[in-house]
Amino acid sequence: MEMVRLGKTEMIVSKLGFGGIPIQRVSEDEAIAVVKRCLELGITYIETANAYTNSEERIGKAIGGQREGLVLATKPHILTREGVESDLQNSLKMLGVESIDLYQFHNVSNLGTLDMVLDPDGPMAVLEEAKRAGKVKHIGASSHQIDVAKEAVKSGRFETIMFPFNFIACEAADELVPLAREHDVGFIAMKPLHGGVLRNVTIAIKYLLQFPNVVVLVGIEKISEIEEIIRVVEGPWQMTEAEQSEMERLRAELDSTICRRCDYCLPCPEGIPISLVMDFNCYTKSMPSENIFSGHFAEGLAKAAECTKCGDCDERCPYHLPVQEMIAEYVDRYETLKKKYQEQAI
C-alpha cells in the first residue's frame, strides 16, 4: 500500500482510507470483521463521525486499543462550542481512546459557518484547547462547498481538508487540490464512488490515484468491497485507453444526474434542504434505517413533499440538474421505502 504524507500534520497514512459510514448497517460482528480486514490489507487511515450512530464504537472494538501506526479521524455532529465539547468526549469514549489523531469540523456548509467556527470564542477555540490538553492531535474540516473549502485552506487554521472528489464531481482537481498542496494542507477525497452511484470501481479509483497528495476515503460495508478496491490500488494505476473512453462515456451519461451538494440552488422558498434530498441514493444506501426514517433526513423529505414546483432551483443549478423533477422522484421513492419499512416493523 502506498503511503501519503497528510500535509502539515506530518502524519503518514495509507493512500486508501477506510470510511466508517456503511458499517452502521451491518451486524456488529460483520462491522468488526470489515475493519480488521482493512487493517490487514494495510489501511492505516480510519475515518468516522460522531453522527454515524454505532460506527465509532464498532471501530473502537475492532482496534481494541491497538492503534500503533493507525490514524483515527472523527468529527463532531454539532458545530457549536458546547456541541464540539460534548461530541469530542463522546467520540473518545466510543472509540475507547484517550486522544484522536485528526478531529475535523464536519460539513462546514457556508462562509458564515466557517466564520462562526473560527470566532475567537467559537468551537475552534475549544478544539485548540483540546489539542493543548493532548485529546486531539490535529484539526481539519470537511465541506461540500468549494468556496468554503478554499477559504478554510487559506485561513491556515486547518491541517486537513476533506472534500467530495471523483471523476464526475471533479471540481476539486483544478483549484482545491493544488491550493491544499500549496498551503501544505492534507487533502482527503470523500465520495470517490459518489456514494455507490459510480459502479465502475476500477475507473473511479484509478482516476483519484493520479493525484499524489490525495488520500482516497472509501466507505466500506463488506470485505469483498475492500478486496476489490485493493486490487485496483495495487495494480497498474494508469488507465487503459478503453478505461479512459469508458470514463468519458460515464461522464457524459451521469454529469447531469449527480448532485454536488454545492447548495447553489438555495434558497428554496419552501425551505426544502435540496442538497440533502438530492443525496437520496447515497443516504439510503449507506445509512441505517433509524437515520433514514427519523431525524433530519426524514424531516427533509417531509419538507420536500411541499415543493410547489416554482422552478427556482432548476434555474440556479450550475450543473443543469432537473432538480424539481428529481425531488419529486425521491419523495415518491421515499414513501415506498417507508411503507415497506413500516410493514416489516409490524
Residues in contact with ligand SF4 by the rule CB under 6 A: 259-265, 268-270, 272, 274-275, 278, 307-313, 317, 319, 321, 323-324, 327
**C-beta closer to ligand SF4: residue 173 or 223:** 173
- What lies within 8 Å, CB to CB, of 93 at 6+ separation is none
What does the angle CA 310 – CA 254 – CA 204 come to, to the nearest 5 degrees?
135
Contact 4, 36 (CB under 8 A): no
Kind and range of the H or E element at 233? helix 223-234
Rank residues 50 and 324 by Cβ distance to ligand SF4 and give the closer one.
Answer: 324
Cis peptide before 22 (omega within 30 of 0): no
Cell of 284: 439510503
Residue recorded with cell 463488506? 222
62-91 in b/e burial notation, b at 16+ Cβ within 10 A?
Answer: bbeeebeebbbbbbbbebebeebbebbeeb
Which CB sits closer to ligand SF4, 30 or 314? 314
Helix/strand/coil for 92: helix
User: Residue 240 or residue 308: which is nearer to ligand SF4 going by CB?
Assistant: 308
Q: Pairing relation of β-strands 12-14 and 3-5?
A: antiparallel
**Of residues 4 and 274, the one with the C-beta less far from ligand SF4:** 274
Neighbours of 152 (CB within 10 A): 29
Q: Which is nearer to ligand SF4, 150 or 183 (CB)?
A: 150
CA distance 123 to 78: 10
Record the cell numbers describing residue 101, joined without a space: 489523531
C-alpha cell recorded at residue 247: 470514463
CB 167, min distance to ligand SF4, A: 16
Task: Report, in Å, the least distance between residue 335 CB and ligand SF4.
Answer: 17
- Complex with ligand SF4: residue 2 or 315, whichever CB lies closer: 315
CB atoms within 10 A of CB 119: 12
Smallest distance, Å, CB 74 to ligand SF4?
25
| Minimum CB–partner distance for residue 319 and ligand SF4 (Å) | 5
